[in-house]
Amino acid sequence: MRRMKALVLERDGALRCTEVADPLRPGPEWALIRVAFSGICNSDIHRGFGAGAYRYPLIMGHEFSGTVEEPAEAGRFPRGFPKGARVTVFPLIPCRRCIPCQTGDFAQCTDYDYLGSRRDGAFAELVWAPEANLLAIPETVGLREAAMTEPCAVALHGVGKLTIRPGDTGAVFGAGPIGNWAAQWMRLRGCSEVFLVDIDDRKLALARSMGFSPIDPREGDPVEAIRARTGGSGADRIVEAVGLPSTFLQAVQAGARFGEVVFLGNIRGSFEIGEKDFSSILRRELTIRGTWNSRFVPEGRNDWTAVLGALGRGIDAASLVSHTPSLAEGADIFRRIIERKEFFNKVVFAL
């Protein structure tokens, strides 16, 4: 039986790089992918170090790129993906039977599977994926950048909920990779200025170098700062990409009249809003939307295709990568991320 190197979550808080048996092909329509790069998501932190795993042992990892090692035997598409094809992979495996699946809203599937959480994922040399979930990587896009298609598509899906008009002002709470990509998409769609709010000096410096307007809450109320820099009106289009109750409230408070707010961050804690702020939502006629995951269909007109077409052509992924460790360094990297004693932005395993 073939064996492969993998970063295995053996129990909550316990990661080990070891050799494991390559599982059997799940079905004839599945292809075997040799992973080239695989990114760490914040959800991996909570899953691996917050008792959030569905089972143990588990191989995490759902943001990845690679090459086809073994093509599907009976794929959904006549063209197929031959051995050696460069691909990125939509990690959500829909049932294709429920009502959301019939409309192509796979992220709303009522009975889905998921690489890296409900089944083993891409913190490994090899991973099986349905051929229907593969997307070819353009020649102009490198494998490392393509591994970030999933989180960049999540950011685009959220920004897509906003009705951005040329000249609008934007604001993003959270300057991590998702927040930074959200700001990039907002600018591409017409925002004349985008404020990026964060408390990390290096993320703010990166935002400034990319042409965004950084705001540091340690220097004062970020809501007042946004109002002061918009003539008192506030931001027209806002994305919350932190997931804290305080930033959810600040995102609402910072909205201009007839403004729009998208809640993208996974909240930790309870979000409460007082009478005054709630009344202000009504008076300003704010629109507040939630967003989840990304859209993979129809082919050629979805979030993933848009990302792959924009990487290096208006969307910068490479500048957000701070570390490219090996799988052997995986347990140590996760420990250091959790300890928060050094700077990490986007971490992508290089296999």
Domain CATH number, residue 144: 3.90.180.10
Contact at 8 Å (CB) between 322 and 175? Answer: no
Q: Quick one: 113 exposed, middle or buried, by C-beta within 10 A (0-12, 13-18, 19+)?
A: middle
Token reading at 30: 């599945």
Same domain, 263 and 329: no
Residues 176, 145 share a domain: no
| pTM for the model | 0.96
Name the CA dihedral angle for 100, 101, 103, 108, rounded to a multiple of 10 degrees: 40
Tokens 């090899």, located at residue: 126
Same domain, 204 and 283: yes
Each as own residue / partner, the long-range contacts of residues 215-219 (CB below 8 Å, 24 or more positions apart, any chain) are none
pLDDT digits (tens), the chain, 351 positions: 789 999 999 999 999 999 999 888 999 999 999 999 999 999 999 999 999 999 999 999 999 999 999 999 976 555 589 999 999 999 999 999 999 999 999 999 999 999 999 999 999 999 999 999 999 999 999 999 999 999 999 999 999 999 999 999 999 999 999 999 999 999 999 999 999 999 999 999 999 999 999 999 999 999 999 999 999 999 999 999 999 999 999 999 999 999 999 999 998 889 999 999 999 999 999 999 999 999 999 988 899 999 999 999 999 999 999 999 999 999 999 999 999 999 999 999 999
Asked whether residue 157 is domain-assigned, the answer is: no
Does 156 reside within a domain? Answer: no
Nearest to 334 by CA among 50, 31, 28: 50
Residues spanned by the domain of 8: 3-151+294-350
Q: Does a structural domain hold residue 285? A: yes
* Same domain, yes or no: 8 and 139: yes
